[in-house]
Amino acid sequence: MDGARAAGELSRMGALVPVLRRAPRGDGHPVLVLPGLTASDRSTRPLRWFLRDRGYFVHGWRLGTNMGPDDRVLAGLRDRMADLSGRHGRPISIVGWSLGGIYAREIARATPADVRQVITLGSPFRLADARGGRRGRPPVPVTAVYTRTDGVVPWQSCIEYPGPRHESIEVKGSHTGLGHNPAVLLVVADRLAQPEGTWSRFRASSGWRRLGGVGPNSDA
């Protein structure tokens, strides 16, 4: 069922390309996109295409299929961040889908000076924090996107902890469609387009709501 809904969301993204191209353009800073469990860079191609179209230097993780946080993945992520930081010479925004969002949060905790902001898509980080004893917010701005009809992970575990630069935004959709859900794409574009060194909460527009956005969580 979740896969069927995701396929419909991908078709909808294609139909709405003219609308999506009105999304804010950014300053060309680097963005790293991390896939979910059992997924690879192939799963994030629509999202990375969209962000490149918005003017960013967008990078996949280049670590093959995400089979969980083993030594290969942890070392690979450290090397990838070091390479991108050295190449661009400026902080990197990280967009992580599901398990990829948990990785993104850990990177931000480990190297906050290298991370501009984190955006998680259906990432059950509260479960990971409870199991690993690492409760709390990363020391960078965080936007957590979630859907109550997730179908894969408990949506309650994807909501950000309260904080002055942390927010949760609800959309309508499936877990496996979050990376190409039109409402999600507009959230990501809006968040990334904020000038470096500034941050303000997402403000929902009527057009965004028509695309399947429900609204920000005021408790985040």
- For the stretch 142-172, pLDDT in tens is 999 999 999 999 999 999 999 999 999 999 9
17 pLDDT above the threshold of 90:
no
Instruction: Quote the CA–CA distance of 210 and 192 in Å, as a whole number.
Output: 21
Report pLDDT digits (tens) over 111-143.
Answer: 999 999 999 999 999 998 888 777 678 999 999
220 pLDDT above the threshold of 70:
no
pLDDT level of residue 24 (50, 70, 90 thresholds): very high
Report pLDDT digits (tens) over 44-87.
Answer: 999 999 999 999 999 999 999 999 999 999 999 999 999 999 99
Q: Determine contact, residues 107/81, Cβ cutoff 8 Å.
A: yes
pLDDT level of residue 93 (50, 70, 90 thresholds): very high
> What's the number of CA atoms in the CB half-sphere (13 Å) around residue 197?
1
Answering whether pTM is above 0.85, one says yes
Superfamily of domain 2-217: Alpha/Beta hydrolase fold, catalytic domain (3.40.50.1820)
Q: Give the count of beta carbons closer than 10 Å to the beta carbon of residue 66.
A: 22
The percent of residues above 90 in pLDDT, for the chain, comes to 80
**219 conformational bin, left if phi > 0, alpha if psi -120 to 50, beta if neither:** alpha
β-pair type (166-171, 213-217)? antiparallel
Q: Determine contact, residues 194/200, Cβ cutoff 8 Å.
A: yes
195 pLDDT above the threshold of 60:
yes
pLDDT at 8: 76
218 pLDDT above the threshold of 70:
no
